[in-house]
Structure 1
């Protein structure tokens, strides 16, 4: 499909974009696979209308967040870790859930996040909280700063370490280009 190369070379070429959108639309109508159909039709939509700018859908309900064990959240944080920002840094945070009786160490080293199911004796800071407080922060019911000010989250040790950790995380936009550069 040569049209995709034309669109990438000249994203303002409306004739090429319209032709490519027409072909994607036809492939979407003929696709037997649901995911392929969605990809083709979303590509056609993007070519005709641009990338949506409105808010996305809620990807995790409050029930899902509340049922999610901390290990899954920490794995997700590992995905969000910006390797370039974390390169050459070593940072150890203890996270202690008082209601779960489960401690964790979050160790950033070699541009990656490692999650250990025990407290580290040499951690730069220890964050103490309950799982419901973490859920409230994740759901936007309260902010991290409010939870710390209220005493729901306690940070002991080098308090700046938590901010440094959070600064290394990327936030991904819900909408992104599929077809256009």
Structure 2
């Protein structure tokens, strides 16, 4: 799933850390890999220097010298980038390597959450499902939105949560009649108090139990 350029050699590549370990072994070790990265940086080929230095960092994430090398290359790339978005990526990556992952000041404010459509809210739940943990779960949930008149069914099976509007076939395991504000509160607390419902209330607990907590502070240039 995802972007693919059609070259079968790119179809099933190793993930970044495994790639880094193999690049280091092919080059004769992390030190040799870093030496090659420095050589390309000295030649002005910062793009390939960053690629090699990144492999060194993923092969040896505890090596401060590897992080320092990649940070220097990314800083030079950032200073030469005309596109503000590219420059920010380069320089934030360099900052992470030198100072660690910075805590984010961005949170899902109530005003932002309330601006989401019901479909977007359900999508935000779906991407939090831990597939392996949810693999044996099978459940369905109907939502009747009193403030918009919309109706949705959400179904969890095979580790994936899908949803669609205007369900017509049969009854879901749990049916909720509520407003969008109540839906947001429900997903935050897992509490059905004050929400009109019928069916198996345990369905909500089962769904909440397979959701990952959002992680806003995550690395972008280290394992």
Which structure 1 residue ranges, 5 or more long, are not aligned?
Answer: none
* 1:9-158 correspondence to structure 2 within 5 Å: 9-52=59-102, 54-58=103-107, 60-119=108-167, 121-136=170-185, 143-145=189-191, 148-149=192-193, 151=194, 153-158=195-200
Higher relative contact order (CA 8 A, sep 6+): 1
TM-score for the superposition, normalised by structure 1: 0.82
Superposition misfits of 4+ residues, deviation over 6 angstroms:
none
Provide the secondary structure at the position in 2 that maps to 1:80: coil
Partner of 1:173: 215
Q: C-alpha deviations, 1:103-135, integer Å up to 9, x for none?
A: 211111232222121345331111221123234
Which structure 2 residue ranges, 5 or more long, are not aligned?
Answer: 1-48
Work out the number of aligned pairs and report it. Answer: 172
RMSD, aligned CA = 2.1
Provide the secondary structure at the position in 1 that maps to 2:127: helix
More helix by share: 2
**Larger C-alpha radius of gyration, 1 or 2?**
2
Measured after TM superposition, the shift of residue 45 of structure 1 is 0.5
